[in-house]
Chain A
């Protein structure tokens, strides 16, 4: 296994700049997630690490060596593709052993490695089948198996679960997490699914517009988003944002106003962010909550153990996630307050975090 380092990587296609000076250190045995909306450059970045796209500027280092000009086959990485990319004219066994045969490994060694990987992935009884005869989940396993047998320096996953149905995706997610523990491999994993990003990675790089917005653990990205974009992208349902201004420790917007917890240095125009779980309904616990304001319930959604309330306070619409036991109906008026500890403040201009 090896570390992967990106040094000020840029990618341009004629006029369009897809990546701007991206730098990232991925430690040996780390599970790094590249997450962002489609078109943010995450797949391009992964393909550049694999050697499938040329680097316009900057350096890619694998195990401390610059690999910019190495062909994909000389980079000792393995990749799992979104559409699996299994060779349709080969059996599962041939698919898995393809890379090893190309490297001229002894037959016995090839058989041993394929057997071992097939056992780990529980696909031993599929070895003689062709990809056409497999289900989506089985194909996914074979694609992962093909990567494992190579014993590469790093694994690259390009949205590997996005073609699976919800239940299978969950199963495979857990499999991949187990696999990482078992192999102790360096993994770079591209996804737009934030559940995968939150649950799989040891760290994640949140990307948007060809720039890394934040690198950190899933908890850091969730609890201390570096900017307005990360705050809105990570977390489901999405964070509520309220435009307003801070003056003398007081937050003021057209629809509400309250004193912020002591120690805030913010002042001037801000965007206040609060996750739906931080919006409280009909609660009175003075010190930890903001001043209550009346809000009308517009829509109620039951999610099972939670309930989503779409509220309207003055002209501002907010989403609150409350216990399923809450029994308000659309049209009811409730008293709404915000958990002060859950408040994030972002600069209106730079969108960066200020408190």
Chain B
């Protein structure tokens, strides 16, 4: 047993030492992870700034000798980069909007109503997440084709919305579960309809979960390549992922332009993430809404 003040102090000191060592180890691991994440981004910047004759150089400098913005200019001049961006933006925004709207109502139904197949439905939704994307390509292609939506925005939007819906529904359902039912009941007594209670009370309280679902939908659709490759064949409809891939030739790849394009499409997503990181963290960890 620890009894004397000296012994207590010794135990406390040992405890503090352990905590300090833990903190150092945790930070070292996090810094390492950060570097791993940042390395490709930094390489991308570095390559995009290199003059044409030094693309394959093994130089590690972030700003290479003789740096120039020529790759950036060439992306705009020599490719349909702006069109690709526009296509991506339309598809991504509409997808996110539809995906979040459907998940918001679907998740509400799963959270609040008892109906036959409630549990089974949720389990099936989770099950779809276990199927690798590659396996879905052919069926997805066939469905989109039969719907006559090949090579259309709508085809892409349908494909993207439905694939990210299960995750969004789970996120929102989980969040709704933490909102006390009495709030909606109070609203019903106060004079709203069932939908009014959802729209005026539950939705405004769910902004953290809604933003997570939105970000998830947005990044999924923005970065997607495989489905786009299958659904889109007309270069006029290409998203930026397909467009940039075109820069890769069998014999010659425009690495400078490729890197410049990649950097420009990464920045918006990165900024959105940095901006919303607070909501993300609070949304993922925060439990209930306590009146």
Which residues does A use to contact B, with CB under 8 Å?
50-52, 71-73, 77-79, 81-89, 98-99, 102-103, 131-132, 139, 146, 150
Pick from B183, B188, B290: contact of A73, CB under 8 Å: B188
Contacts A78-B190, A99-B190 supplied; 18 other A-B pairs, CB < 8 Å: A51-B188, A71-B188, A72-B189, A73-B189, A73-B190, A77-B189, A78-B189, A79-B185, A79-B186, A83-B180, A84-B291, A85-B185, A86-B291, A87-B186, A87-B187, A88-B289, A131-B291, A146-B190
CA A72 to CA B184, docked complex, whole Å: 11
Contact call B192/A83, Cβ cutoff below 8 A: no
B205–chain A nearest beta-carbon distance, Å? 6
For B204, the chain A residues whose CB sits under 8 A away are 89
Chain A residues with CB under 8 A of B187: 87, 98
CB distance from A238 to the nearest CB of B (A): 32
B→A interface (CB under 8 Å): 180, 182-183, 185-193, 196, 201, 204-205, 289-291
* CB-defined A-B contacts under 8 Å, sample of 22: A50-B189, A51-B189, A71-B188, A72-B185, A73-B188, A73-B191, A79-B189, A81-B186, A83-B182, A83-B291, A85-B180, A86-B186, A87-B186, A88-B183, A88-B289, A98-B187, A98-B191, A99-B191, A103-B191, A139-B291, A146-B190, A150-B190
Determine whether the beta carbon of A88 is less than 8 Å from that of B205.
yes
Query: Which residues of chain A are near B185, meaning CB under 8 Å?
Result: 50, 52, 72, 79, 81, 85
Q: How far is the CB of A119 from chain B (nearest CB, A)?
A: 21
Verify B201–A87 contact, CB threshold 8 A: yes
Question: Which of the listed residues B185, B192, B290 has the most CB atoms from chain A within 10 Å of its own CB?
Answer: B185
For the complex formed, measure the closest distance between the CB of B180 and the CB atoms of chain A, giving whole angstroms.
6
Distance of A224 Cα from B83 Cα, bound (Å): 87
Q: Which 7 A-B pairs have the closest CB atoms?
A: A99-B190, A102-B191, A85-B186, A85-B182, A73-B191, A72-B188, A79-B189
**A82: which B residues are within 8 A, CB to CB?**
182
Residues of A with C-beta under 8 A to B186: 79, 81, 85-87, 146
A173 CA to B185 CA in the complex, in Å? 24
Nearest B residue to A156 via CB reads B189
Q: How far is the CA of A132 from the CA of B291 in the complex (A)?
A: 6
Return B164 CB to nearest CB of chain A, in Å: 27
Interface centre among A52, A82, A86, A87 (most CB of B within 10 A): A87
Alpha-carbon distance A51/B190, docked complex (angstroms): 12
Of residues B183, B190, B196, B205, which shows the largest number of chain A Cβ atoms within 10 Å of its Cβ? B190
Q: Give which listed residue, B189, B191, B193, B291, contacts A88 with CB less than 8 A.
A: B291
Docked CA distance A72–B196 (Å): 13
CB atoms of B192 and A85 under 8 A apart: no
A88 to B178, CA, bound (A): 13
Q: Give bound CA distance, A86 to B289, whole Å.
A: 11
Query: By the criterion CB–CB under 8 Å, are A85 and B183 in contact?
Result: yes
The answer to whether B180 touches A102, judged by C-beta atoms less than 8 angstroms apart, is no
Residue of B nearest to A78 (CB): B189
Q: Which residues of A contact B290 (CB under 8 A)?
A: 88, 132
Which residues of chain A have C-beta atoms less than 8 A from B180's C-beta? Answer: 83, 85
| Complex-state Cα separation, A150 to B187, whole angstroms | 13
Q: Which residue of A lies closest to B192 (CB)?
A: A102
Q: What distance in Å separates the Cβ of A298 from its nearest Cβ neighbour in chain B? A: 40
Q: Is the CB of B291 within 8 A of A52?
A: no
Q: Which of A73, A98, A131 is close to B193, meaning CB atoms less than 8 Å apart?
A: A73
- Which residues of A have CB within 8 Å of B193? 71, 73
B192 / chain A contacts, CB cutoff of 8 Å: 73, 102
Tell me, rounded to whole Å, the shortest Cβ–Cβ distance linking A262 to chain B.
55
Q: Please pick, from A71, A81, A131, the residue contacting B182 in the complex, using a CB distance under 8 A.
A: A81
Residues of B within 8 A of A83 (CB): 180, 182, 291
A87 / chain B contacts, CB cutoff of 8 Å: 183, 186-187, 201, 291
Bound CA span A264–B50, Å: 111
- Contact at B190–A98, with CB atoms within 8 Å? yes
Q: Chain A's nearest CB lies how many Å from the CB of B87?
A: 37
Q: Report the bound CA distance from A137 to B190 in whole Å.
A: 21
Q: Which residue of B lies closest to A99 (CB)?
A: B190
Q: How far is the CA of A77 from the CA of B191 in the complex (A)?
A: 10
Measured between beta carbons, the chain A residues less than 8 angstroms from B189 are 50-52, 72-73, 77-79
What residues of B have a CB within 8 angstroms of the CB of A131 in the complex? 291
- Rounded to whole angstroms, the CA-CA distance of A193 and B186 in the bound complex is 23
Cα-based distance from A158 to B291 in the complex (angstroms): 17
- What is the distance, in angstroms, from B15's C-beta to the closest C-beta of chain A? 35
- Interchain CA distance A146-B191 in the complex, whole Å: 12
Assuming the A-B contacts A71-B193, A73-B193, are A85 and B291 also in contact, with contact meaning beta carbons closer than 8 angstroms in the complex?
A: yes
Measured between beta carbons, the chain B residues less than 8 angstroms from A77 are 189
In the bound complex, what is the Cα–Cα distance between A85 and B290 (angstroms)? 9
